[in-house]
């Protein structure tokens, strides 16, 4: 599905990413993790063709993305941004924007088909009831769901998400990730997601890519990547590894400095 080959990239000659090489298989659910400033978002931007890599290539189903048309790429890959920063419009209009890659130049109105697809995406994300509301009127969690609905309206094969759970409470974090998991399972969407929360990444992703200082530090299943040595080395924080009692996936517990000092005494 997605393949990155000896990728290097940077802003103004300062390298941000180096020797990035990994593959994402069809219908996989991959999480990209790493400390702040490690280059996660940059990686996402390279995959979506916003940044041109200074070295290496990105392939989608064997085709270099820089040789694809923008529209073609948009029908294949959809991106869920961190937050909504556009002008105010109704939820339905916003989701319909996701149909733009399918509209012809001289077509001024969406077809019935487009409306149906938008409707379906709204109901898939459980936001059909918000249809008539304005984007500014709905809550942060609802907005994130609507952002996903718009991405789905592009009918992509690959869904990229940039920290979909940032700034959300635990209920919404869970429901958003459950939804993405469901889309992955039921619709066969390939998912690549940047996540900050290691425990959520461990719980939901099949495979993790840990990035540190612009290089891939480790890839593998959550069990392989999330061990305390690796985490302490990359994040430079003392942690304790536990197992989630229900799913038996790795669970990371932070230890505060105060407690650490108490122990030392």
Partner 1 sequence: MRRKVFYWSAWILVLFCLLLTVMLFSFCAGPVDMPLKKILKVIFEGRGTSEYSILFDIRLPRIILGFAIGGALSLAGVILQGMFRNPLVEPYTLGISGGAAVGVCLNIVLGLSRGLGIISLPICGFLGAILVILLVYSLSIRKGILKIQGLLLTGVMISFISSSLIMLIMSVSHTEDLHGIVFWVMGSLEEPNWLLIKLALGIAVFGLAVSYLFCFDLNAFSLGEEEALHLGINVERTKRLLFIVASLLTGFSVSVAGIIGFVGLVVPHFIRMFVGPDHRILLISSFLCGAIFLIFCDTLARIIIAPLELPVGVITGILGGSLFIYALSKKQVSLGGK
Residues of this chain that interact with partner 1 (CB under 8 A) are 11-12, 45, 48-50, 69-75, 77-79, 81, 84-89, 93, 97-98, 100-101, 103, 105-106, 108-110, 115, 136, 154
Distance CA 96, CA 89 (A): 11
Q: Which is nearer to partner 1, 62 or 85 (CB)?
A: 85
Interatomic CA distance for residues 5 and 9, integer angstroms: 12
Longest dimension (CA), the chain: 75
Q: Among residues 103 and 187, whose Cβ is nearest to partner 1? A: 103
- Minimum distance, C-beta of residue 141 to partner 1, in the bound complex (Å): 20
- Rounded CA-CA distance 123/121 in Å is 5
Q: Which is nearer to partner 1, 105 or 236 (CB)?
A: 105
Least distance between partner 1 and beta carbon 184 (Å):
20
Q: How far is CA 263 from CA 62, 186, 240, 247, 255, in A?
A: 54, 48, 14, 30, 11
Query: Closer CB to partner 1, residue 39 or residue 250?
Result: 39
CB of 53 to partner 1, least distance (A): 14
Between residues 62 and 86, which has the closer beta carbon with respect to partner 1? 86
Minimum CB distance to partner 1 smaller for 69 or for 236: 69
Of 85 and 245, the one with the shorter C-beta distance to partner 1 is 85
Taking the CB of residue 68, how many other CB atoms lie within 10 A of it? 17
Residue nearer to partner 1 on the CB measure, 23 or 71: 71
Measured from the CB of residue 150, what is the shortest distance to partner 1 in angstroms?
9
CB-based contact 184:191 (threshold 8 Å): yes
CB of 134 to partner 1, least distance (A): 9
CB of 115 to partner 1, least distance (A): 6
Q: How far is the CB of 73 from partner 1 (least distance, A)?
A: 7
Write down the least CB distance from residue 44 to partner 1, Å.
10
């Amino acid at each position: 599905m997605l393949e990155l080959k000896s990728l290097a990239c940077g802003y103004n000659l300062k390298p941000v990413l180096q020797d990035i090489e990994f593959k994402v298989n069809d219908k996989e659910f991959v999480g990209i993790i790493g400390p702040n400033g490690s280059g996660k978002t940059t990686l996402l931007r390279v995959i979506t063709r916003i940044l041109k890599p200074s070295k290496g290539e990105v392939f989608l189903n064997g085709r270099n993305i820089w040789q694809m048309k923008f529209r073609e790429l948009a029908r294949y890959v959809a991106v869920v941004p961190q937050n909504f920063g556009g002008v105010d419009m109704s939820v339905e209009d916003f989701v319909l924007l996701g149909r733009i890659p399918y509209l012809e130049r001289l077509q001024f109105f969406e077809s019935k088909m487009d409306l149906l697809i938008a409707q379906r995406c709204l109901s898939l994300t459980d936001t059909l009831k918000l249809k008539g509301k304005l984007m500014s009127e709905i809550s942060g969690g609802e907005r994130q769901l609507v952002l996903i609905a718009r991405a789905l309206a592009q009918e992509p094969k690959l869904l990229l998400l940039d920290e979909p759970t940032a700034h959300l409470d635990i209920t919404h974090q869970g429901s958003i990730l459950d939804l993405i998991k469901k889309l992955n399972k039921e619709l066969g969407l390939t998912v690549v997601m940047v996540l900050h929360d290691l425990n959520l990444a461990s719980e939901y992703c099949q495979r993790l890519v840990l990035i540190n200082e612009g290089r891939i530090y480790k890839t593998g299943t959550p069990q392989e990547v999330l061990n305390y040595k690796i985490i302490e080395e990359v994040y430079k924080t003392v942690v304790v590894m536990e197992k989630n009692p229900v799913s038996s996936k790795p669970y990371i517990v932070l230890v505060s400095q105060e407690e650490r000092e108490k122990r030392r005494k």
